[in-house]
Amino acid sequence: MKGSNILFSNKGGRKINIFSHPFSNMFGLSQRCIIVAKNGGKIIINEGVGMSGCTIYSMESITIGRNTDIGSGCKIIDNDFHPLPYSERYPVERLDLLKKRPVVIGEGCFLGANSIILKGTTLGKNVVVGAGSVVSGTFPDNVIIAGNPARIIKDNKE
Residue numbers annotated as active site: 82
Q: Is residue 62 packed enough to be buried (19+ CB in 10 Å), middle (13-18) or exposed (0-12)?
A: buried
Amino acid at 19: F
Distance of CA 79 to the CA centre of its chain: 11
Residue whose C-alpha is closest to residue 17's, from 71, 61, 73: 71
